[in-house]
Structure 1
Amino acid sequence: MQLLALVCLGCVGIGVVVLLASHGANPYAVLALVLSLILAAAFSLFSVFSVFTSVSVLGVVFGVAALTVVLAVTTGFQKQFRDKVLGVNAHVIVLKSQNTFAEYRDVMKTAREIDRDVLAVQPFIFAEMLATRGKGELSGVAIKGIDPKLVRGVLDLEQHMVEGSVDSLLVEACPPGDEDRH
């Protein structure tokens, strides 16, 4: 029975570690810590349990500890996933059903005027097309064109770029066959 009390104290230690690892942001870690403290106190006060009771309580303790660890990891993954998605996509996207959107400047101005909490507005174009590779292999691609002068206000694009920088996008494009110009 004293071994079970030590195991419960070990679960208290695990609860403290998970609580510290989640920086106090995980309410389940607090719950697991409180439950393991209660169980440790119960085992130390009432050390005359049957084997079946001890094994079942020990199973609950390990189950709660495992659930706490899984929830802490999942919470961290969700935050990282949300940050990555919002880093390459805007929070709000305004689209028009027709192919042309010539009045996008008016829409940008209206968006800024309607809500003072709008931090940045950026136009973009999006097109789906087919690309050919090698010996006629077709592949569907989606291209999103942005204004490199305005990108920093809306997207975290530079953080996700493997090579180069957003500033390198500011160089004027050369017409095909005129590579000597730059």
Structure 2
Amino acid sequence: MRFQALWKQEFEKLEQWRVLMRELRAVLPQFEIGHATATSTSCFRCTVFTNRQPVEASHEDGPRERRWGVVGCLSILAPVYTVYGLQYDYTGQDVIAAKVFFDPLPPEMQALAEVVGRKIEAMFGAEALPRELAETRIPLIVEFLEPPATTLFHALFSTDPENVAV
């Protein structure tokens, strides 16, 4: 009940989050900007992704495509944010592989992550949660994760970081 009440209170920031996404579209027109907030997680989320690009595949796999990008997350539980990377491989419409990247991000994701992070800091006054702190184990059940698997990242952001609608 408290979590739902907190989301109800935090929804006041939704319009400001939409402004953030409009500003990202203006400065990153070559990327697809998406709204990936889900009230089952404890953060606002946006995605910044490339279009699908062909990748080499073995003959039996058929044609494959890849897209990559970053996810910006603003916690509703604390004034912190994180930006992490994602890569999806597709065969047709099916995602056949998803890979999450944390610090250090691959070189092609670093500048993009910096733009998203600076925008979140400027608009919301949040601070980046250092990766070492995000990996701290916590004695809480978060969604379907139980200790010792749960971390501060799971509690403040998401237990399923690769699951964003792209």
TM category, shorter: under 0.3
**Structure holding more helix per residue:** 1
* Larger gyration radius, structure 1 or structure 2: 1
Higher relative contact order (CA 8 A, sep 6+): 2
Per the normalisation by structure 1, the TM-score is 0.20
**Structure holding more strand per residue:** 2
Per the normalisation by structure 2, the TM-score is 0.21
